[in-house]
Amino acid sequence: MVEPIAMILAGGQGSRLSILSNQRAKPAVPFGGNYRIIDFVLSNVMHSNIRYLGVMTQYKPYSLMAHIGNGEAWGFTGRYSVAKVLPPYIGDSDSDWYAGTADAIYQNLSYLSRFNADAVLVLSGDHIYNMAYGDMLDFHARNNADLTIATQPVPWDEASRFGVLKSDKKGRVEMFQEKPKEPASNQANLGIYIFKRSVLEQRLRDDAANPHSSHDFGKDIIPAMIAENAPCYAFEFLDYWRDVGTLQSFWEANMDCLDPASGLDLARWKAHTNCLSDSMQFCMPTLVHSGGSVVHSTVGKDSEISGTVINSILFRGVKVAKGAVVRNSIIMDDAEIGPGAQVEGLISDKHMKIGANALIGDSAAGAVVNKLYPDYLNTGLVLMGKNVRVPEGCRIGRNSLVYGGTQEAHFNGGGLADGATISPRGIDVD
Protein backbone atom coordinates (compact mmCIF):
# COMPACT_ATOMS: atom_id res chain seq x y z
CA MET A 1 0.00 0.00 0.00
CA VAL A 2 1.20 3.54 -0.77
CA GLU A 3 2.27 5.80 2.12
CA PRO A 4 -0.51 8.39 2.60
CA ILE A 5 -1.03 11.69 4.33
CA ALA A 6 -4.54 12.83 5.30
CA MET A 7 -5.65 16.44 4.97
CA ILE A 8 -9.00 17.25 6.58
CA LEU A 9 -11.02 20.26 5.43
CA ALA A 10 -12.59 21.51 8.66
CA GLY A 11 -13.14 25.21 8.08
CA GLY A 12 -16.79 25.14 7.05
CA GLN A 13 -19.34 27.56 8.50
CA GLY A 14 -22.33 25.24 8.12
CA SER A 15 -24.89 28.02 7.85
CA ARG A 16 -27.78 25.56 7.39
CA LEU A 17 -27.19 24.36 10.96
CA SER A 18 -28.17 27.87 12.02
CA ILE A 19 -27.26 28.82 15.58
CA LEU A 20 -25.55 25.48 16.25
CA SER A 21 -22.67 26.68 14.07
CA ASN A 22 -22.84 30.42 14.72
CA GLN A 23 -20.03 30.31 17.26
CA ARG A 24 -18.20 27.15 16.20
CA ALA A 25 -17.07 25.48 13.01
CA LYS A 26 -19.51 22.91 11.67
CA PRO A 27 -17.10 19.98 12.33
CA ALA A 28 -17.01 21.04 16.00
CA VAL A 29 -20.80 20.75 16.48
CA PRO A 30 -21.56 18.17 19.21
CA PHE A 31 -23.08 14.90 18.01
CA GLY A 32 -24.44 11.63 19.37
CA GLY A 33 -24.29 12.45 23.08
CA ASN A 34 -20.52 12.19 23.40
CA TYR A 35 -18.80 13.32 20.21
CA ARG A 36 -18.21 16.16 17.81
CA ILE A 37 -18.85 15.71 14.10
CA ILE A 38 -15.15 15.71 13.23
CA ASP A 39 -14.47 12.77 15.57
CA PHE A 40 -15.66 10.32 12.92
CA VAL A 41 -13.21 11.25 10.19
CA LEU A 42 -10.42 11.52 12.79
CA SER A 43 -11.27 8.02 14.00
CA ASN A 44 -11.29 6.73 10.42
CA VAL A 45 -7.78 8.11 9.93
CA MET A 46 -6.67 6.49 13.20
CA HIS A 47 -8.18 3.08 12.42
CA SER A 48 -6.60 3.20 8.94
CA ASN A 49 -3.13 3.57 10.51
CA ILE A 50 -2.40 6.80 8.67
CA ARG A 51 0.51 8.47 10.44
CA TYR A 52 0.46 11.98 9.01
CA LEU A 53 -2.45 14.38 9.38
CA GLY A 54 -3.23 18.04 8.74
CA VAL A 55 -6.51 19.69 9.77
CA MET A 56 -7.36 22.95 8.01
CA THR A 57 -9.48 25.30 10.08
CA GLN A 58 -10.97 28.66 9.26
CA TYR A 59 -14.41 29.72 10.55
CA LYS A 60 -14.66 30.16 14.37
CA PRO A 61 -11.88 27.59 14.94
CA TYR A 62 -11.29 27.92 18.68
CA SER A 63 -13.41 25.08 20.06
CA LEU A 64 -12.30 22.84 17.20
CA MET A 65 -8.62 23.54 17.81
CA ALA A 66 -9.02 22.96 21.54
CA HIS A 67 -10.83 19.69 20.86
CA ILE A 68 -8.21 18.31 18.48
CA GLY A 69 -5.17 19.52 20.42
CA ASN A 70 -2.11 17.59 19.26
CA GLY A 71 -4.19 14.62 18.13
CA GLU A 72 -3.29 12.44 21.11
CA ALA A 73 -6.88 11.29 21.56
CA TRP A 74 -6.70 9.69 18.10
CA GLY A 75 -3.32 8.03 18.55
CA PHE A 76 -1.08 10.74 17.13
CA THR A 77 1.75 10.32 19.61
CA GLY A 78 5.41 9.49 19.29
CA ARG A 79 8.07 10.43 16.75
CA TYR A 80 6.56 8.53 13.81
CA SER A 81 3.16 10.25 13.68
CA VAL A 82 2.22 13.91 13.30
CA ALA A 83 -1.10 15.76 13.56
CA LYS A 84 -1.26 19.51 13.14
CA VAL A 85 -4.05 22.08 13.00
CA LEU A 86 -3.43 24.41 10.04
CA PRO A 87 -5.19 27.81 10.14
CA PRO A 88 -4.99 30.08 7.07
CA TYR A 89 -1.78 31.97 6.43
CA ILE A 90 -1.80 35.76 6.58
CA GLY A 91 0.15 37.15 3.66
CA ASP A 92 1.10 40.67 2.59
CA SER A 93 -1.70 40.95 0.08
CA ASP A 94 -3.80 37.81 0.48
CA SER A 95 -6.89 37.44 2.61
CA ASP A 96 -6.43 35.52 5.82
CA TRP A 97 -9.23 33.17 4.72
CA TYR A 98 -8.93 30.20 2.40
CA ALA A 99 -10.44 31.09 -0.96
CA GLY A 100 -11.84 27.58 -1.46
CA THR A 101 -11.25 23.92 -0.69
CA ALA A 102 -8.42 23.64 -3.20
CA ASP A 103 -6.82 26.84 -1.94
CA ALA A 104 -6.82 25.39 1.57
CA ILE A 105 -4.58 22.55 0.42
CA TYR A 106 -2.52 24.85 -1.81
CA GLN A 107 -1.70 27.13 1.12
CA ASN A 108 -0.39 24.09 2.99
CA LEU A 109 1.83 22.55 0.31
CA SER A 110 4.80 23.38 2.55
CA TYR A 111 3.27 21.13 5.21
CA LEU A 112 2.88 18.32 2.67
CA SER A 113 6.52 18.72 1.70
CA ARG A 114 7.60 17.67 5.20
CA PHE A 115 6.51 14.08 4.61
CA ASN A 116 7.54 11.31 2.26
CA ALA A 117 3.97 10.53 1.24
CA ASP A 118 3.00 9.56 -2.28
CA ALA A 119 -0.79 9.73 -1.83
CA VAL A 120 -2.85 12.54 -0.34
CA LEU A 121 -6.28 11.89 1.15
CA VAL A 122 -8.41 15.03 1.07
CA LEU A 123 -11.30 14.53 3.49
CA SER A 124 -14.28 16.58 4.61
CA GLY A 125 -14.51 17.05 8.36
CA ASP A 126 -18.29 17.31 8.55
CA HIS A 127 -19.64 13.89 7.51
CA ILE A 128 -20.73 10.94 9.65
CA TYR A 129 -19.35 7.60 8.42
CA ASN A 130 -17.04 4.71 9.26
CA MET A 131 -14.53 3.80 6.56
CA ALA A 132 -11.24 1.91 6.33
CA TYR A 133 -9.28 4.05 3.89
CA GLY A 134 -6.87 1.18 3.22
CA ASP A 135 -9.29 -0.45 0.76
CA MET A 136 -9.67 2.79 -1.17
CA LEU A 137 -5.90 3.37 -1.15
CA ASP A 138 -5.35 -0.12 -2.57
CA PHE A 139 -7.94 0.55 -5.30
CA HIS A 140 -6.22 3.86 -6.08
CA ALA A 141 -2.81 2.18 -6.40
CA ARG A 142 -4.07 -0.73 -8.55
CA ASN A 143 -5.50 1.70 -11.07
CA ASN A 144 -2.46 4.00 -10.99
CA ALA A 145 -5.04 6.77 -10.62
CA ASP A 146 -4.33 10.47 -10.51
CA LEU A 147 -7.51 10.83 -8.47
CA THR A 148 -9.91 8.42 -6.76
CA ILE A 149 -13.33 9.66 -5.58
CA ALA A 150 -15.50 7.82 -3.06
CA THR A 151 -19.08 7.60 -4.32
CA GLN A 152 -22.46 6.34 -3.22
CA PRO A 153 -25.84 6.25 -4.97
CA VAL A 154 -28.35 8.67 -3.48
CA PRO A 155 -32.09 9.14 -4.13
CA TRP A 156 -32.65 11.01 -7.39
CA ASP A 157 -34.59 13.78 -5.65
CA GLU A 158 -31.49 14.52 -3.51
CA ALA A 159 -28.86 14.23 -6.25
CA SER A 160 -28.85 17.97 -6.99
CA ARG A 161 -27.40 18.60 -3.51
CA PHE A 162 -24.22 16.70 -4.44
CA GLY A 163 -21.52 16.56 -7.01
CA VAL A 164 -22.49 13.61 -9.22
CA LEU A 165 -20.51 11.52 -11.68
CA LYS A 166 -20.71 8.64 -14.13
CA SER A 167 -18.09 5.91 -14.39
CA ASP A 168 -17.52 2.93 -16.69
CA LYS A 169 -17.43 -0.75 -15.70
CA LYS A 170 -13.85 -0.46 -14.49
CA GLY A 171 -14.69 2.58 -12.38
CA ARG A 172 -13.05 5.21 -14.56
CA VAL A 173 -14.93 8.52 -14.28
CA GLU A 174 -16.42 9.71 -17.56
CA MET A 175 -18.57 12.65 -16.43
CA PHE A 176 -18.74 14.97 -13.41
CA GLN A 177 -21.29 17.63 -12.44
CA GLU A 178 -21.09 19.81 -9.33
CA LYS A 179 -24.54 20.19 -7.71
CA PRO A 180 -26.45 20.31 -11.02
CA LYS A 181 -30.06 21.49 -11.17
CA GLU A 182 -30.84 18.54 -13.44
CA PRO A 183 -28.42 15.76 -12.48
CA ALA A 184 -27.45 13.23 -15.13
CA SER A 185 -26.54 10.68 -12.46
CA ASN A 186 -27.31 9.81 -8.85
CA GLN A 187 -23.76 8.52 -8.21
CA ALA A 188 -22.83 11.09 -5.55
CA ASN A 189 -19.40 12.44 -4.69
CA LEU A 190 -18.87 11.86 -0.93
CA GLY A 191 -16.09 14.39 -0.53
CA ILE A 192 -13.47 11.68 0.07
CA TYR A 193 -10.57 12.00 -2.37
CA ILE A 194 -7.19 10.34 -2.90
CA PHE A 195 -4.76 12.20 -5.15
CA LYS A 196 -1.41 11.15 -6.51
CA ARG A 197 0.74 13.66 -4.71
CA SER A 198 2.73 14.96 -7.68
CA VAL A 199 -0.47 15.44 -9.67
CA LEU A 200 -2.21 17.26 -6.83
CA GLU A 201 0.69 19.65 -6.30
CA GLN A 202 0.85 20.59 -9.99
CA ARG A 203 -2.94 20.94 -10.28
CA LEU A 204 -3.04 23.22 -7.25
CA ARG A 205 -0.24 25.43 -8.56
CA ASP A 206 -1.95 25.75 -11.93
CA ASP A 207 -5.27 26.51 -10.25
CA ALA A 208 -3.74 29.15 -7.97
CA ALA A 209 -2.38 30.94 -11.04
CA ASN A 210 -5.81 30.99 -12.72
CA PRO A 211 -7.57 34.29 -11.93
CA HIS A 212 -10.91 32.88 -13.13
CA SER A 213 -10.93 29.88 -10.76
CA SER A 214 -12.96 29.67 -7.57
CA HIS A 215 -10.19 27.39 -6.23
CA ASP A 216 -12.57 24.60 -5.34
CA PHE A 217 -12.15 20.85 -5.88
CA GLY A 218 -15.73 20.23 -7.01
CA LYS A 219 -16.06 23.34 -9.18
CA ASP A 220 -12.58 23.58 -10.67
CA ILE A 221 -9.98 20.86 -10.03
CA ILE A 222 -12.06 17.74 -10.63
CA PRO A 223 -14.01 19.00 -13.69
CA ALA A 224 -10.72 20.04 -15.31
CA MET A 225 -9.19 16.61 -14.70
CA ILE A 226 -12.21 14.84 -16.18
CA ALA A 227 -12.28 17.16 -19.19
CA GLU A 228 -8.61 16.38 -19.85
CA ASN A 229 -9.26 12.62 -19.57
CA ALA A 230 -6.92 12.23 -16.60
CA PRO A 231 -7.09 8.78 -14.95
CA CYS A 232 -9.80 9.44 -12.33
CA TYR A 233 -11.66 6.54 -10.72
CA ALA A 234 -14.78 6.08 -8.62
CA PHE A 235 -14.59 3.91 -5.49
CA GLU A 236 -18.06 2.82 -4.46
CA PHE A 237 -18.76 3.00 -0.72
CA LEU A 238 -22.09 1.45 0.27
CA ASP A 239 -21.99 1.62 4.07
CA TYR A 240 -23.49 4.35 6.27
CA TRP A 241 -22.58 7.90 5.22
CA ARG A 242 -24.46 11.08 6.08
CA ASP A 243 -23.97 14.73 5.29
CA VAL A 244 -25.40 16.45 8.38
CA GLY A 245 -25.56 19.84 6.73
CA THR A 246 -29.21 20.58 7.56
CA LEU A 247 -31.04 20.57 10.87
CA GLN A 248 -33.28 17.73 9.71
CA SER A 249 -30.36 15.56 8.55
CA PHE A 250 -28.50 16.38 11.77
CA TRP A 251 -31.52 15.29 13.83
CA GLU A 252 -32.02 12.14 11.75
CA ALA A 253 -28.37 11.09 12.05
CA ASN A 254 -28.50 11.57 15.82
CA MET A 255 -31.61 9.42 15.96
CA ASP A 256 -29.76 6.79 13.90
CA CYS A 257 -27.33 6.50 16.84
CA LEU A 258 -30.18 4.88 18.78
CA ASP A 259 -30.67 2.15 16.18
CA PRO A 260 -27.60 0.11 15.16
CA ALA A 261 -29.69 -1.40 12.36
CA SER A 262 -29.55 2.03 10.69
CA GLY A 263 -25.86 1.37 9.98
CA LEU A 264 -24.65 3.96 12.48
CA ASP A 265 -23.36 1.55 15.10
CA LEU A 266 -21.25 3.52 17.57
CA ALA A 267 -20.17 0.43 19.49
CA ARG A 268 -18.90 -1.29 16.35
CA TRP A 269 -17.35 1.84 14.89
CA LYS A 270 -15.24 2.49 18.02
CA ALA A 271 -15.14 6.20 17.34
CA HIS A 272 -12.80 8.17 19.58
CA THR A 273 -13.23 11.62 21.06
CA ASN A 274 -11.14 13.88 23.26
CA CYS A 275 -11.79 12.73 26.82
CA LEU A 276 -8.84 14.65 28.27
CA SER A 277 -10.64 17.90 29.09
CA ASP A 278 -11.64 18.57 32.69
CA SER A 279 -15.33 18.61 31.76
CA MET A 280 -15.09 14.98 30.65
CA GLN A 281 -12.51 13.59 33.05
CA PHE A 282 -14.36 14.29 36.28
CA CYS A 283 -17.96 13.45 35.41
CA MET A 284 -19.99 11.35 37.81
CA PRO A 285 -22.10 8.40 36.59
CA THR A 286 -25.64 9.11 35.43
CA LEU A 287 -28.31 8.79 38.11
CA VAL A 288 -31.84 7.64 37.26
CA HIS A 289 -34.00 8.34 40.32
CA SER A 290 -36.92 6.28 41.50
CA GLY A 291 -39.80 7.06 39.15
CA GLY A 292 -37.44 8.18 36.39
CA SER A 293 -37.44 6.35 33.07
CA VAL A 294 -35.11 6.20 30.07
CA VAL A 295 -36.54 4.49 26.97
CA HIS A 296 -34.59 3.90 23.72
CA SER A 297 -32.29 6.82 24.49
CA THR A 298 -28.70 7.62 25.34
CA VAL A 299 -27.87 9.74 28.39
CA GLY A 300 -24.45 11.27 29.04
CA LYS A 301 -22.48 11.11 32.27
CA ASP A 302 -23.24 13.39 35.20
CA SER A 303 -26.94 13.50 34.30
CA GLU A 304 -29.92 13.10 36.65
CA ILE A 305 -33.20 11.71 35.38
CA SER A 306 -36.30 12.00 37.57
CA GLY A 307 -38.75 12.31 34.68
CA THR A 308 -39.13 10.39 31.41
CA VAL A 309 -36.77 10.36 28.42
CA ILE A 310 -37.97 8.68 25.21
CA ASN A 311 -36.10 8.25 21.93
CA SER A 312 -33.68 11.08 22.69
CA ILE A 313 -29.98 11.97 22.85
CA LEU A 314 -28.92 13.65 26.10
CA PHE A 315 -25.35 14.86 26.53
CA ARG A 316 -23.42 15.28 29.79
CA GLY A 317 -24.90 16.93 32.86
CA VAL A 318 -28.54 17.05 31.73
CA LYS A 319 -31.18 17.14 34.48
CA VAL A 320 -34.77 16.07 33.78
CA ALA A 321 -37.03 16.85 36.74
CA LYS A 322 -39.95 14.84 38.09
CA GLY A 323 -42.98 14.80 35.80
CA ALA A 324 -41.04 16.15 32.81
CA VAL A 325 -41.11 14.23 29.52
CA VAL A 326 -38.49 14.57 26.77
CA ARG A 327 -39.26 12.92 23.41
CA ASN A 328 -37.43 12.78 20.07
CA SER A 329 -34.95 15.45 21.15
CA ILE A 330 -31.25 16.29 21.23
CA ILE A 331 -30.25 18.07 24.44
CA MET A 332 -26.62 19.19 24.77
CA ASP A 333 -24.51 19.61 27.91
CA ASP A 334 -25.67 20.96 31.26
CA ALA A 335 -29.32 21.54 30.40
CA GLU A 336 -32.20 21.52 32.89
CA ILE A 337 -35.75 20.44 32.11
CA GLY A 338 -38.10 21.68 34.84
CA PRO A 339 -40.85 19.74 36.66
CA GLY A 340 -43.79 18.85 34.45
CA ALA A 341 -42.26 20.30 31.28
CA GLN A 342 -43.18 18.55 28.01
CA VAL A 343 -40.47 18.60 25.33
CA GLU A 344 -40.92 17.25 21.78
CA GLY A 345 -38.57 17.51 18.78
CA LEU A 346 -36.11 19.93 20.41
CA ILE A 347 -32.48 20.49 19.41
CA SER A 348 -30.84 22.57 22.11
CA ASP A 349 -27.30 23.81 22.56
CA LYS A 350 -25.48 23.82 25.91
CA HIS A 351 -26.55 25.34 29.25
CA MET A 352 -30.24 25.65 28.38
CA LYS A 353 -32.95 25.73 31.09
CA ILE A 354 -36.67 25.08 30.59
CA GLY A 355 -39.03 26.18 33.34
CA ALA A 356 -41.67 24.06 35.08
CA ASN A 357 -44.71 23.01 33.04
CA ALA A 358 -43.40 24.57 29.84
CA LEU A 359 -44.58 23.05 26.55
CA ILE A 360 -41.92 22.83 23.85
CA GLY A 361 -42.83 21.61 20.36
CA ASP A 362 -46.57 21.16 20.74
CA SER A 363 -47.34 17.92 18.88
CA ALA A 364 -50.62 19.35 17.62
CA ALA A 365 -48.86 22.22 15.86
CA GLY A 366 -46.07 22.68 13.35
CA ALA A 367 -47.82 23.44 10.05
CA VAL A 368 -46.18 26.88 9.82
CA VAL A 369 -42.54 26.99 8.68
CA ASN A 370 -40.20 29.45 10.32
CA LYS A 371 -41.02 32.89 8.95
CA LEU A 372 -37.43 34.17 8.94
CA TYR A 373 -35.65 30.93 8.06
CA PRO A 374 -38.08 28.76 6.06
CA ASP A 375 -35.24 26.85 4.39
CA TYR A 376 -33.75 25.77 7.74
CA LEU A 377 -36.75 25.15 10.00
CA ASN A 378 -39.62 23.52 8.13
CA THR A 379 -39.97 19.95 9.46
CA GLY A 380 -41.43 20.61 12.90
CA LEU A 381 -38.27 20.83 14.99
CA VAL A 382 -37.54 23.45 17.66
CA LEU A 383 -34.05 24.97 17.88
CA MET A 384 -32.50 26.66 20.93
CA GLY A 385 -29.07 28.21 21.36
CA LYS A 386 -26.71 28.35 24.32
CA ASN A 387 -27.72 29.80 27.69
CA VAL A 388 -31.43 30.03 26.90
CA ARG A 389 -33.90 30.40 29.79
CA VAL A 390 -37.52 29.46 29.04
CA PRO A 391 -40.12 30.74 31.57
CA GLU A 392 -42.40 28.47 33.57
CA GLY A 393 -45.56 27.52 31.70
CA CYS A 394 -44.28 28.94 28.40
CA ARG A 395 -45.45 27.36 25.14
CA ILE A 396 -43.02 27.27 22.23
CA GLY A 397 -44.41 26.06 18.91
CA ARG A 398 -42.75 23.98 16.22
CA ASN A 399 -40.38 25.33 13.58
CA SER A 400 -39.44 28.00 16.10
CA LEU A 401 -35.99 29.38 16.85
CA VAL A 402 -34.71 30.68 20.19
CA TYR A 403 -31.39 32.48 19.90
CA GLY A 404 -28.67 31.94 22.46
CA GLY A 405 -28.82 34.18 25.52
CA THR A 406 -32.60 34.63 25.40
CA GLN A 407 -33.90 34.95 28.98
CA GLU A 408 -37.30 34.72 30.68
CA ALA A 409 -37.86 38.47 30.49
CA HIS A 410 -37.47 38.52 26.71
CA PHE A 411 -40.67 36.49 26.32
CA ASN A 412 -42.66 39.36 27.90
CA GLY A 413 -44.94 36.94 29.69
CA GLY A 414 -45.98 35.14 26.50
CA GLY A 415 -44.94 32.17 24.43
CA LEU A 416 -43.64 31.62 20.93
CA ALA A 417 -45.99 30.78 18.08
CA ASP A 418 -45.26 28.16 15.44
CA GLY A 419 -42.61 29.41 13.01
CA ALA A 420 -41.57 32.34 15.19
CA THR A 421 -38.10 33.49 16.23
CA ILE A 422 -36.94 35.16 19.43
CA SER A 423 -33.64 36.63 20.59
CA PRO A 424 -32.55 38.95 23.38
CA ARG A 425 -33.81 41.74 21.10
CA GLY A 426 -37.37 40.37 21.05
CA ILE A 427 -39.75 38.17 19.03
CA ASP A 428 -39.49 37.80 15.25
CA VAL A 429 -36.17 39.59 15.03
CA ASP A 430 -34.76 40.21 11.56
pLDDT number for residue 430: 58
Which tens digit of pLDDT belongs to each residue from 383-426? 999 999 999 999 999 999 999 999 999 998 889 999 999 999 88
Q: Is 89 left (phi over 0), alpha (psi -120 to 50) or beta?
A: beta
What stretches of 69-221 show up as alpha helix (H) in DSSP? 101-106, 109-112, 133-142, 197-208
**pLDDT value at position 282?**
66
Predicted TM-score (pTM) of this structure? 0.93
How many other CB atoms are there within 10 angstroms of residue 239's CB atom?
A: 11
Cα–Cα distance for residue pair 140/196, rounded to 1 Å: 9
What confidence tens digit (pLDDT) does each residue in 221-246 have? 999 999 999 999 999 999 999 999 89
Amino acid identity for residue 305 in this structure:
I
Chain Cα centroid distance, residue 273: 14
At 135-181, the pLDDT tens digits run: 999 999 999 999 999 999 999 999 998 999 999 999 999 999 999 99
DSSP H helical segments within 174-295, as ranges? 197-208, 222-227, 247-256, 266-269, 278-281
pLDDT value of residue 94: 42
* 51-87 residue pLDDT tens: 999 999 887 778 888 899 889 999 998 878 899 999 8
Does 112 have pLDDT greater than 60? yes
DSSP assignment of 113-140: TTS--SEEEEEESSEEE---HHHHHHHH
> 92 or 106: which carries more pLDDT confidence?
106
Alpha carbon distance 397, 404 (integer Å): 17
For each of the domains in the chain, give its residue range(s) and CATH number, in order of start: 4-262 (3.90.550.10), 283-427 (2.160.10.10)
pLDDT of residue 292: 97
pLDDT of residue 24 exceeding 90, the answer is no
pLDDT at site 364: 62
Give the C-alpha separation, 151 to 166, whole Å: 10
pLDDT number for residue 322 = 98
Q: Which of 79, 67, 70 is nearest to 26 (CA)?
A: 67
pLDDT score for 14:
63
Residue 26: pLDDT above 60? yes
User: Are the C-beta atoms of 298 and 30 separated by less than 8 Å?
Assistant: no
Question: What percentage of the chain exceeds 70 in pLDDT?
Answer: 94
Contact 7, 121 (CB under 8 A): yes
Nearest to 20 by CA among 367, 346, 311: 346
**Averaged pLDDT, 239-266:** 95
Q: Is 328's pLDDT higher than 90? A: yes
Mean pLDDT of the chain: 92
